[in-house]
């Protein structure tokens, strides 16, 4: 039987992707060196671990929408599911390194985007939980299937700067805000009626009107 260990060694942004994509380098080592692995159908659940770092006052303020008031974070700060991915790993003898492609979003309706946006610097702690099916041959040459237990996992700290550089490459000096079709139609009508050239101008006009009314 195979005995695999998993390590995330590094992360980099995919330079030639149509959408934002991070590549995590996953190294797998089989402790049973005499046992060749024919194939792995690997599942990976990636979770954000917010309790594994400290936060500045400005970060606490921005993350209040996600976790509630900072004084309650002892109860509300919990692990968050980021994404789940699947990769097919070709055969190897002792060790193998593969890339885990992780799509990234700038949609602020998604918890992971809110979390990364709320961080000024430092690292975001991640946990990688592995499962799936492992194929190998026994001494008689018969193909065997073994399930990878959920206890197999790896830890990694993603530099916030890598996330920000990735987002800035695809959305330079901009943020993505999703609104309902009704709200968009109303914004678009306001923009057209007032002869505004962009939605930035439209939102600026509306915010300025609110600020004037509040004074």
pLDDT one-digit tens code per residue, 158-196? 999 999 999 999 888 777 777 888 988 898 898 889 998
Q: What is the mean pLDDT of residues 188-211?
A: 87
| Percentage of residues in the chain having pLDDT higher than 70 | 99
Give me the pLDDT at residue 214, please: 67
CATH fold of 4-170: Immunoglobulin-like (2.60.40)
Q: Is the pLDDT of residue 129 over 70?
A: yes
- Spatial separation of the C-alpha atoms in residues 156 and 49, rounded to whole Å: 10
pLDDT one-digit tens code per residue, 24-34? 999 999 887 77
Provide the pLDDT confidence category of residue 137 given band limits of 50, 70 and 90: confident
> 104 vs 108, which has greater pLDDT?
104
**Nearest 5°: CA angle at 109, between 103 and 113?**
45
Residues in the chain, overall count:
215
Can you tell me whether residue 88 is helix, strand or coil? strand
> 3 vs 41, which has greater pLDDT?
41
Provide the pLDDT confidence category of residue 215 given band limits of 50, 70 and 90: low
- Spatial separation of the C-alpha atoms in residues 63 and 70, rounded to whole Å: 8
Closest CA to 126 of 5, 55, 56, 24: 24
Domain limits, the chain: 4-170, 181-214
Going by C-beta distance under 8 Å and a sequence separation of 6 or more, which residues neighbour residue 92?
28, 30, 36, 37
Give me the pLDDT at residue 1, please: 65
Q: Both ends of the chain: CA-CA distance in Å?
A: 73
Provide the pLDDT confidence category of residue 210 given band limits of 50, 70 and 90: confident
> 178 vs 101, which has greater pLDDT?
101
- Asked if residue 63 lies in contact with residue 56, where contact means CB atoms within 8 angstroms, the answer is no
């Amino acid at each position: 039987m195979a005995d695999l260990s998993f390590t995330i060694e590094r992360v980099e942004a995919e330079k030639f992707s149509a959408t934002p994509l991070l590549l995590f380098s996953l190294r797998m080592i089989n402790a049973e060196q005499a046992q060749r692995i024919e194939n792995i159908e690997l599942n990976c659940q990636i979770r954000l671990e917010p309790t594994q770092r400290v936060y500045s006052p400005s970060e606490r303020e921005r993350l209040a929408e996600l976790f509630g008031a900072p004084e309650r974070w002892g109860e509300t700060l919990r692990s968050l599911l980021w994404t789940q991915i699947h990769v097919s790993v070709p055969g190897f003898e002792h060790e193998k390194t593969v890339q885990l492609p992780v799509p990234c979003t700038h949609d602020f309706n998604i918890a992971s985007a809110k979390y990364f946006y709320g961080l000024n610097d430092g690292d975001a702690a991640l946990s990688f939980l592995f499962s799936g099916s492992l194929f190998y041959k026994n001494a008689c040459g018969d193909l065997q299937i073994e399930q990878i237990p959920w206890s197999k996992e790896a830890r990694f700290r993603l530099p916030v700067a890598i996330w920000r550089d990735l987002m800035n490459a695809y959305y330079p000096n901009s943020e993505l805000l999703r609104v309902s079709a009704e709200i968009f139609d109303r914004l678009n009508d306001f923009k057209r009626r007032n002869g505004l050239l962009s939605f930035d101008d439209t939102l600026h006009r509306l915010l300025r009107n609110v600020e004037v009314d509040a004074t």
